[in-house]
Amino acid sequence: MKRQRPAILPSILDAIGQTPLVALDRLAAGLPGRIALKIEYFNPGFSIKDRIALKIVEDAERAGKLRPGGTVVELTSGNTGTGLAIVCAVKGYRLIAVMSEGNSVERRRMLRALGAEVELVPQADGAHPGQVSKEDLELVERRAAEVTERLGAFRADQFHNVSNVEAHELTTGVEIWEQTDGKVGVFVGTVGTAGTFMGVARALKKRNPAVRAFAVEPARAPILAGGPVVDTRHKIQGAGYALIPPLWDPTLCDGYVGISDEEAIEVARRLAREEGIFAGFSTGANVAAALKIGRESEPGTLIVTTANDSGLKYLSTDLFPE
């Protein structure tokens, strides 16, 4: 049964979750499989990461790891940081977001507008703006650890924190199940921290073990699939860091789909033009992978994926040229 929100919410935090699921019947016309996209940019921070931000902070409060007036530190490509900035603004915490200079400028501007302090980390040698590599992430992790230790702050630690997975198991996955009346057959998702993929896959398979879950990776760095890593640089921000995330559980994954930057960009642009859905690089990758699976599926298979964030976060990039 669909849960109803009260007419007036106590705070913006109560607007997190319960995002719409939209059929992509124009984009996927003629395919045997039907594709539905969960529009996560309806969250207050315009991304799916608002869910984990709220869960991580509230779990830390319950555990006594975060007390009134405390400081939160986290490495971020921008979306988790934005979610944390919203949560910290409402709850009165100081947030220091550590991010690579390779991430889009819109993300850092949003963070600062929401009251966060942003620590920008120069990219590794040979990196290109707009392409965050494994090496860039390692530099960001090093700085985040230093800041956390120096301040004695609470580290959100999304790559290791089980609250990340639980947030999606308890909300995103449950919502998909309810919105499809249990008819979802396939879930498709990019993997960064692995929180979304693990949580949704676990929730769906718990209810129906026959549901299949496919991980989306950059075509040049298919490390989860066991393929050769040709290049750790790509444009799918927030995903595909050419490392196996600590939260990853391969037993919940039924297959892998490699997507190139070009495929992600093409599909993101088609989503805007043909479906009126204005989303970012990783959403383009998700839907490109879902289309590939849809072409090979049994007729009537319902494939669900997520629109991870808004295209507004990428206006300074080449995703949507002037």
260 is catalytic: no
CA torsion 174-177-178-183 (nearest 10°) is -170
- The pairs formed by 118-126 with CB atoms below 8 angstroms and a separation of 24 or more are 118/81, 119/143, 119/144, 119/147
Sequence-distant (≥ 6) Cβ neighbours of residue 180 within 8 angstroms: 21, 36, 302, 304
Spatial distance between the Cα atoms of 223 and 88, rounded to a whole number of angstroms: 34
Contact 239, 249 (CB under 8 A): no
Pairwise pLDDT comparison (316 vs 169), residue with the higher score: 169
Q: What is the mean pLDDT of residues 269-292?
A: 97
98 pLDDT higher than 60: yes
d(CA 51, CA 176): 14
CB 54 within 8 A of CB 322: no
- Residue ranges, comma separated, of all CATH 3.40.50.1100 domains in the chain are 12-42+172-314, 50-155
The per-residue b/e assignment along 93-125, b for 16 or more CB within 10 angstroms, e otherwise, is bebbbbbbbbbbbbbbebbeebebebbebebbe
Return the pLDDT at 179: 98
Q: Which pLDDT band holds residue 1 (cuts at 50, 70, 90)?
A: very low
Q: Tokens for 172, please give them.
A: 């995103």
Res 57: pLDDT: 98
Contact of 286 with 200, CB cutoff 8 Å: no
Cα–Cα distance for residue pair 119/260, rounded to 1 Å: 30
Q: Domain 50-155, what fold?
A: Rossmann fold (3.40.50)
Topology classification of domain 12-42+172-314: Rossmann fold (3.40.50)
Q: pLDDT grade, residue 124 (50/70/90)?
A: confident
And the tokens for 314? 């990428």
Question: Looking at 49-58, 137-146, 170-179, which range is the least confident one?
Answer: 137-146
pLDDT of residue 166: 98
Q: Could you tell me which residue, 135 or 165, shows the higher pLDDT? A: 165
What's residue 88's pLDDT? Answer: 98
Distance CA 281, CA 104 (A): 11
Q: Which of 77, 133, 282, 297 is catalytic?
A: 282
Q: 68-77 pLDDT, tens per residue? A: 999 999 998 8
Based on the residue annotation, tell me whether 282 is a catalytic residue of this protein: yes
Are 234 and 220 contacting, i.e. CB atoms less than 8 angstroms apart?
yes
Q: Coil, strand or helix: which one is 77?
A: coil
> What integer pLDDT is reported at residue 236 of this predicted model?
80
Nearest to 257 by CA among 208, 298, 293: 293
- Mean pLDDT of the region 150-175: 97
Say whether pLDDT at 26 is over 90.
yes
Q: Is 135 helix (H, G, I), strand (E, B) or coil?
A: helix
Distance, in Å, from the CA atom of 94 to the CA atom of 96, rounded to the nearest integer, reads 7
How far from chain centre, in Å, is Cα 151? 28
Catalytic residue among 38, 49, 55, 205: 49
Residue 248's pLDDT band (boundaries 50, 70, 90)?
very high
In contact, 291 and 35? CB cutoff 8 Å:
yes
Does the pLDDT value for residue 130 go beyond 70? no
- pTM of the complete model: 0.93
